[in-house]
Amino acid sequence: MAQTDSVKSPTGAADVTALDPARDGIPEPFLSQPIRYIDRTRAWYQALGYEPYRWPTFDTVPFQPLRKPLADSRLALITTAAPIRPDAGDQGPGAAYNGAAKFFEVYSSPVDDPADVRISHIGYDRHHSTAEDPNTWLPLPRLHEAIAAGRLGSLAPRFHGVPTLRSPRTTMSEHAPDIVARCQADDVDVALLVPV
Amino acid sequence: MSLVSRALEEAGIPTVVLGAAKDIVEHVGVARFAFSDVPLGNSAGLPHDAESQRSALECALTLLETAPGPRTTWQTPLRWNGGDHEWKRDFNNLGQLDAEAIARQRASFEEQKARARGANA
């Protein structure tokens, strides 16, 4: 708690979650703010001896207005979760980080007979979450309910998985166009993306 | 995933991102972002809590319908542990990294990089 006096007011919040929590402490008022993952990850990579990962950023953001009511729309669900592979070690609830479970190409899986997709290949919060319930990252049952209730028109026949390879260039040049093509082939009206 | 959202929007498909890393998604910049202030891995709802999962999805769907323009962020109603924020202290906490953990993390990271390079070759 030696350096908590460096955090004096909410105006100092810009850096507070970049602090080392064990060393510096985080006063409760700042804990109510969202975690600053970019700062924490940069500090983490530096501690491991790597250059910090640089997330891309853009001056402009594309925006497509809704074309028709959701009740008449076909939705594509997109995930970063990975289909379980028998040869890739422990991928179930509570599994340690498992790089072998990563995938490297876009995949698709039928929404009516979905692959069992898990998140052991991703740095999710393992302290506070055991990844037992796939509904926390793949809301397929909830989407089926929304369709039954008339809230949403329909689901595309398959959902899609996007690799997480820490390469924005590969995502932009290969995976994103692949996803776009698959969504166009399925004639979807809207897309729900749930990153783990 | 934010990059995929951007590509879909550019192709004329409206999107909404339902995610938990607020700063990252907003740094990249997306059309619509439903933010869940919960540990990574739970942005679509709390485990074994269908009602919370419905509330997160409904937030995302309503955002799809009503966002006035790009970079619209809403927060879903999800509350972890009833609103206790203690979980935020622990993610990538450098205070919990000893030499052995650093070596283990480095080995894992190097293996991933090698595999990623192989896949992209």
* pLDDT, tens digit, 9 for 90 and up, residues A59-88: 999 999 999 999 999 999 999 999 999 999
A141/A112 Cα distance (integer angstroms): 10
Domain range list for chain B: 2-82, 91-121
Calculate the alpha carbon distances from B31 to A156, A192, B66 in Å.
21, 12, 12
Give the pLDDT of residue A26.
57
CB pairs under 8 A between A and B: 271
Q: For B3-32, what is the mean pLDDT?
A: 98
Q: Are strands A158-161 and A107-110 parallel, antiparallel or unpaired?
A: antiparallel
Give the containing element (helix H, strand E) for A77. strand A74-79
Give the containing element (helix H, strand E) for B19. strand B15-19
Give the containing element (helix H, strand E) for A141. helix A140-148
Q: What angle do CA A142, B39, B97 make, to 5 degrees?
A: 150
A77/B9 Cα distance (integer angstroms): 15
Rounded to the nearest 5 percent, the helix, strand and coil shares of chain B are 55, 10, 35
Instruction: Tell me the chain A residues in contact with residue B13 when contact means C-beta distances shorter than 8 Å.
Output: 64, 76, 180, 183-184, 188-191
pLDDT, one tens digit for every residue, chain A (196 residues): 333 333 333 443 444 445 555 555 555 557 889 999 998 888 888 888 888 888 999 999 999 999 999 999 999 999 999 999 999 988 999 888 888 899 999 999 999 999 999 998 988 888 888 899 999 999 999 999 999 999 999 999 999 999 998 889 999 999 999 999 999 999 999 999 999 9
Q: Encoding tokens for residue A62?
A: 């594309």
Q: Cβ of A61 and B70 within 8 Å?
A: yes
Q: For B62-73, what is the mean pLDDT?
A: 98
At A56, phi and psi to the nearest 5?
A: -70, 155
Instruction: Tell me the chain B residues in contact with residue A34 when contact means C-beta distances shorter than 8 Å.
Output: 22-23, 35, 37
